[in-house]
Amino acid sequence: MEYRNLGNTGILVSRLCFGALTIGPFQANLEIEQGARVIRHALESGVNFIDTAQLYATYPYIRRAIEGIKNKVVITTKSYAYTAEDMRGSLEEALRSINRDYIDIFLLHEQESILTMKGHWEAVEYLVKAKKEGLVRAIGISTHSVEAVRAAFLIPEFEIIHPLINMSGIGIKDGTREEMLAAIQEAALYGKGLYGMKALGGGNLLDQVDQALDFVISIPQLASIALGMSSVWEVDFNVSYFSGREIKKELRERVSRQKRRLLIESWCTGCGQCIQKCDLGAIKLVGNRPVVNQEICRLCGYCGSACPELCIRVV
């Protein structure tokens, strides 16, 4: 496994980052021990970087997985907090739940433009203070928008940008793949640490997995690529791929057979709260039942976090 510096932060990360959303309640919904074993397997295979968020509800898995090695792992988390008070709550929850004295990277979750960043500025100021106190090592944003990458690289407080990028541009909200690549290049010139997300387009590129991974791995400005994993065999496949090792035939067949979809459980009450959460408009109420447009759904699972009945999962 290769390791690279995240911009000017001095934080060294493996090229493969463990995306933790997939093990949690909105996707595979693994038992804590089972999910922790998958993360631990990745850590024992050379991965040293875990990406999560307050929204993902995966802190208990990470806490268990890093027992005994907790300061050898680089952890990113994210929050939607607007105010200093709410950001303090988000940080305290992360520290307490993961059982760490610090969080390596704290991001504003899903930023869209300079306007959304300004709206969160009180929360950013809190993170700057937390960084001075040693509670956070680096601050930044995660985003699905080209405009947000362009805005963030001009803001000195943000050292890390976590953009959505894949070979088909699936999920980029406001532009093309080329525009996102150009914004990433420029951000790197400003010394920002970058790591990518949604390399497989939320599972939509699984039938072209080699091309999709080669595409993101070849972007020189990305220090690391976050990939969601929920099984030991997915970890083995990704670690082998990122390490340039030969991949066993059965492992490759298993990956190519894998298809993901959004599952809405039978106990859905038709309340419609999930619809507000989807910024792509990929889920709509038809009668009193949510229906997903599979053509535009990027399988992020965020609608699941809005469901009071816990009935949406990516499976």
Q: Which residues bind ligand SF4 (CB under 6 A)?
A: 262, 264, 268-274, 277-278, 280, 282-283, 290, 292, 297-303, 306-307, 309, 311-312
The tokens for 282 are 């990929």
Residue 66 or 312: which CB sits closer to ligand SF4? 312
Report the DSSP pairing between strands 12-14 and 262-264: unpaired
The least CB distance from residue 308 to ligand SF4, in Å, is: 6
Residue 121 CB, nearest approach to ligand SF4 (Å): 26
CA dist., res. 150 & res. 161, Å (int) = 10
- How many C-alpha atoms does 39 have within 13 Å on its Cβ side? 35
Nearer to ligand SF4, 95 or 229 (CB): 229
**C-beta pairs of 271-278 under 8 Å, 24+ apart in sequence:** 271/308, 271/309, 273/306, 273/307, 273/308, 274/303, 274/304, 274/306, 274/307, 274/312, 275/303, 276/306, 277/302, 277/303, 277/305, 277/306, 278/302, 278/303
Residue 53 CB, shortest distance to ligand SF4, in Å, is 14
Nearer to ligand SF4, 176 or 293 (CB): 293
Strand partners, 195: 224
Shortest approach of ligand SF4 to residue 288 CB, angstroms?
Answer: 8
Pair 40, 9: CB distance under 8 Å: no
Q: Which lies closer to ligand SF4 via its Cβ, residue 65 or residue 312?
A: 312
Least Cβ distance, residue 184 to ligand SF4 (angstroms):
22
Q: Which is nearer to ligand SF4, 43 or 264 (CB)?
A: 264
Nearer to ligand SF4, 78 or 100 (CB): 78
Q: At closest approach, how far in Å is the CB of 112 from ligand SF4?
A: 15
| Cβ atoms of 106 and 66 closer than 8 Å | no
- Among 45, 62, 314, 7, smallest CA distance to 190 is for 7
Q: How far is the CB of 35 from ligand SF4 (least distance, A)?
A: 20
CA-derived radius of gyration, the chain = 18
Nearer to ligand SF4, 160 or 262 (CB): 262
